[in-house]
Amino acid sequence: MYFPRSFLNFTPACSTDVVLAFAATLISGWLTVAFTLDRFVAICYPNVKAKYCTERTATVIMGIVSVFSCFISVPWYFTMGPEYNIDNTPWGCVFKQAFLNLTSWATFEMLMYSLVAWFPLILLLLLNSVTARHILVSGRVGRGLRGRNTEDNDPEMENRRKFVVLLFCISSSFLLLWRTEVIYVLSERVFGTSYVKGSEFESVALMLQALSTCTNTVIYVLTQKQIQRTDEEHGEIPNISNCKVSEK
């Protein structure tokens, strides 16, 4: 706005910005899935925790997700063309007509938004649902083995409930923040309306999409102690399959 002739407004720079923005969004979503998978393994499969939930594994997964996300985001560079030319220099970015009209580009766009929105959301809901069920069931088993017949004034059970709420807050925030952008893209493709650059609906959709890249990270950072406490408590609960409870 304030530097209209900045080098960032050159079409190549602008197109690169589109690639980096999509790659960052893709990385954020799949790292959220990776962290959720880490919690799923740590809570539901404690025997595998020591082998899988390590710093080395986390580093490898982050590297793979980052490199792969950047690689598959490169085609976005070729969807953009100059908005106008000044002295044979391309400025600004707009979608090329080929991107708007060709079926191959439409398929590419739907696939990209499936990778960045739908697949992560499905995995988050699935992993968090199984983890939540495991937490609640094992909590009842552990309370029964310790002779607690009521949930009242049970700090461990209360902590588990909070963690379950946290899991579904993450899934819900992902769904709500991405819904507007997905609706916008689908409406453009399905109903054949043209891409209106700078429309209010598009601006809101992009803002919520950008927010989705940081909300889950903030949630995980602020609740790290809660997560660790849940892991510790869960590790103390015996596995019912290995328990031999006498008739007495």
Task: Give the start-to-end residue ranges of the domains of the chain.
Answer: 7-237
Proportion of the chain above pLDDT 90, given as a percent: 16
Which range has highest mean pLDDT (119-128, 196-205, 216-225)?
119-128
Which range has highest mean pLDDT (65-79, 117-131, 176-190, 192-206)?
65-79
85: confidence class by pLDDT, cuts 50, 70, 90: confident
Spatial contact of 143 and 154, defined as CB atoms under 8 Å apart:
yes
Whether pLDDT at 94 is above 50: yes
3-state secondary structure of 20: helix
d(CA 164, CA 96): 45
Q: Which helix (H) or strand (E) holds 90?
A: strand 89-91
Neighbours of 235 (CB within 10 A): 11
d(CA 91, CA 147): 72
20-47 per-position pLDDT tens digit: 988 988 998 898 888 888 888 888 888 8
pLDDT for the residue 242: 38
Measure the CA angle with vertex 184, ends 83 and 165; round to 5°: 130
d(CA 32, CA 28): 6
Whether pLDDT at 191 is above 70: no
pLDDT for the residue 240: 34
84: confidence class by pLDDT, cuts 50, 70, 90: confident
**Superfamily grouping for domain 7-237:** Rhodopsin 7-helix transmembrane proteins (1.20.1070.10)
pLDDT for the residue 229: 64
99-138 per-position pLDDT tens digit: 888 889 888 988 988 888 889 888 988 988 888 888 777 7
Q: How far, in Å, are 102, 158, 187, 201 from residue 110 at the CA level?
A: 13, 42, 12, 19
Tell me the one-letter amino acid at 177: L
Give pTM, 2 decimals.
Answer: 0.76
Spatial contact of 82 and 11, defined as CB atoms under 8 Å apart:
yes
pLDDT for the residue 2: 60
